[in-house]
Amino acid sequence: MALWRFLRRGADPATEKRLRALVSQAPSVFFVLDRQGRVVMAEGRLLRVLGRRAPNEGGSVFELFLDVPWALDGVKLALGGRTVTVRGEVEGRSYEVRFAPVRGEDGEVEEVVGLASDATDLREAEERLRRQASRLAALAEASRVFAGGLDYTTTLETVARRLAELIGDSALIRMVSDDGLWLVPVAVYHPVPERAALRRKVLLGSPQRVGEGLTAQVLRTGQVLRIAELTPAVVHAQMKEAYWPYLEGASSLLIAPLVHRRQILGHITLLRDAGRPSYTAEDETLLEDLAHRAAQAIENARLYGQAQAAVAARDEFLSIASHELRTPLTALRLALENLRRVTGREVASGPSPQLERVLAASERAGQRLEKLVEALLDVSRIHMGRLELDVEALDLADVVDEAVAAIDDELRQSGSTVDVRGEPTQGHWDRLRLGQVLVNLLANAVKYGAGKPIEIRYGARDARAWVTIRDHGIGIDPADQRHIFERFERAVSSQNYGGLGLGLYIVKRILEAHGGAVRVESRPDEGAAFEVELPLRPAVPLRPPEQPWRP
Nearest CA to 269 out of 168, 147, 196, 184 is that of 168
CATH topology of domain 125-306: Beta-Lactamase (3.30.450)
How many CB atoms are located within 10 Å of the residue 113 CB?
A: 21
pLDDT digits (tens, 9 = 90+) for 138-154: 566 666 766 666 777 88
Nearest CA to 517 out of 453, 464, 477, 450 is that of 464
Rounded CA separation 146/78 (Å): 56
Q: What is the predicted pLDDT for the residue at 322? A: 59
What ranges in 168-192 are assigned the alpha helix state H?
none
pLDDT band at residue 548 using 50, 70 and 90 as cut-offs: very low
pLDDT band at residue 497 using 50, 70 and 90 as cut-offs: very low
Query: Per-residue DSSP letters for 99-145?
Result: EEEEE-TTSSEEEEEEEEEE-HHHHHHHHHHHHHHHHHHHHHHHHHH
Over residues 414-443, mean pLDDT? 90
Q: Does residue 453 have a pLDDT over 90?
A: yes
Rounded CA separation 79/101 (Å): 7
Whether the CB-CB separation of 530 and 441 falls below 8 Å is answered with yes
Distances (CA, A) of 493 to 130, 164, 264, 411, 520: 59, 41, 35, 22, 19
Helix (H) or strand (E) holding 419: strand 418-422
Name the amino acid, one letter, at 280. Answer: T
Rounded CA separation 129/467 (Å): 67
What CATH number is given for 387-535 in this structure?
Answer: 3.30.565.10
Least reliable range by pLDDT among 104-108, 139-143, 479-483:
139-143
Question: In terms of pLDDT, which residue wins out, 28 or 272?
Answer: 272
pLDDT digits (tens, 9 = 90+) for 225-243: 999 998 888 888 888 888 8
What CATH number is given for 2-118 in this structure?
Answer: 3.30.450.20
Rounded CA separation 209/164 (Å): 24
- pTM tops 0.85: no
How many CB atoms are located within 10 Å of the residue 382 CB?
A: 19
Nearest CA to 531 out of 474, 479, 477, 481 is that of 481
pLDDT band at residue 459 using 50, 70 and 90 as cut-offs: very high
